[in-house]
């Protein structure tokens, strides 16, 4: 089964946070991918923490070397699906980042399970039937 890692799952792995071991096993044993928008968040997180651009790029190279497939889907159907996802969730008065909508759209397109640590965002969405893919929490 394929898996889509969102930014928080990747960051947890790179930073050795709780859930990192689960992400590591997935990266070593399963087909894993991440959307470029989520990789941008990982890059941004590194820079926000005060690390230089070389370190930020190194993190991305590290996860790529473990077999994470970088997806850059951005055809009109794909980005419209991400926007539709965001609008449905917001109309239900729930919160989700646009980047997470790209992860959801990629998981839906690939028939994959989305991997995240964002329980506070995803649990209400799942409970309200607004998540069109399976979700695996790493913590």
Q: At what angle do helices 98-110 and 36-48 cross, to 10 degrees?
A: 140
The confidence score (pLDDT) of residue 72 equals 98
The confidence score (pLDDT) of residue 59 equals 96
Domain count along the chain: 1
- The domain that contains 67 carries what CATH number? 3.40.50.1010
The confidence score (pLDDT) of residue 55 equals 97
What is the percentage of the chain residues whose pLDDT exceeds 70? Answer: 100
Mean pLDDT over all residues of the chain?
Answer: 98
93-131 residue pLDDT tens: 999 999 999 999 999 999 999 999 999 999 999 999 999
Structural domain for 22, as ranges: 2-137
The confidence score (pLDDT) of residue 104 equals 98
Tokens of 39: 């990789």
Tokens of 51: 């690390």
- Which ranges constitute the DSSP H helices of the chain? 7-15, 20-29, 36-48, 53-65, 76-91, 98-110, 119-127
Residues 24-41, mean pLDDT to the nearest whole number: 97
Confidence band, pLDDT 50/70/90 cuts, at residue 78: very high
Confidence band, pLDDT 50/70/90 cuts, at residue 56: very high
The confidence score (pLDDT) of residue 137 equals 98
Instruction: Please provide the size of the chain in residues.
Output: 139
Confidence band, pLDDT 50/70/90 cuts, at residue 76: very high
Backbone angles phi, psi at 117, to 5 degrees: -110, 0
Residues 59-88, mean pLDDT to the nearest whole number: 97
Tokens of 118: 């964002």
Q: Is 81 helix (H, G, I), strand (E, B) or coil?
A: helix
Q: How far apart are CA 80 and CA 86, in angstroms?
A: 10
Burial annotation 77-109 (CB, 10 A radius, 16+ → b, else e) = ebeebbeebbebbeeeeeebbebbbbbbbbbbb
What is the percentage of the chain residues whose pLDDT exceeds 90? Answer: 99
DSSP letters, 24-46, are HHHHHHSEEEEEHHHHHHHHHHH
Closest-CA residue to 132 (of 99, 106, 93, 97): 106
């Amino acid at each position: 089964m394929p898996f889509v890692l969102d930014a928080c799952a990747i960051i947890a792995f790179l930073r050795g946070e709780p859930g990192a071991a689960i992400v590591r096993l997935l990266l070593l044993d399963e087909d894993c991918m991440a959307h470029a928008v989520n990789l941008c968040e990982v890059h941004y997180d590194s820079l926000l923490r005060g690390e230089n651009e070389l370190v930020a790029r190194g993190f991305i190279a590290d996860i790529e070397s473990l077999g994470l497939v970088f997806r850059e889907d951005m055809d009109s159907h794909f980005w419209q699906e991400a926007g539709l996802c965001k609008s449905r969730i917001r109309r239900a008065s729930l919160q989700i980042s646009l980047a997470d909508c790209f992860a959801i759209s990629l998981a839906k397109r690939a028939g994959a399970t989305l991997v995240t640590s964002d329980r506070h965002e995803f649990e209400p969405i799942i409970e309200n039937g607004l998540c069109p893919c399976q979700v695996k929490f790493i913590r």
